[in-house]
Amino acid sequence: MDLLQFEALLASEGYPTVTTVEQGPLYQMGEHAHAFDACALILEGDFTITVDGVATQYAVGEVFRLPAGTVHTESSRQGVRYRAGRRPKD
């Protein structure tokens, strides 16, 4: 998916906040949860999200979704830059 298609998707799904996130190499964040639904497109690097002990790695051009309140960890070996939509929990 390209950036224009992704931003059109976010608009159609009612994501009011769109931001770009960057993390450096060897990034790690311990268990946490967000108060918003997240939908993001990987623009550069790699990104791994672990939920309930299951790690899923995302590469450039891939989209991940994370519902509000989902406890997870985040990591990146190479560093990552992604475009993210955030939608408040209903």
pLDDT (tens digit per residue) in 45-68: 999 999 999 999 999 999 999 999
What's the mean pLDDT when you consider all of the chain?
97
Which residues 6+ apart lie within 8 Å of 53 measured at CB? none
Residue 19 clears pLDDT 90, i.e. is over it: yes
Alpha-carbon gap, residue 35 to 67, rounded angstroms: 9
Q: Which domains does the chain have, with CATH numbers?
A: 3-88 (2.60.120.10)
**Average pLDDT rounded to a whole number, residues 31-45:** 98
Report pLDDT for 52: 97
Q: What is the pTM of this model?
A: 0.94
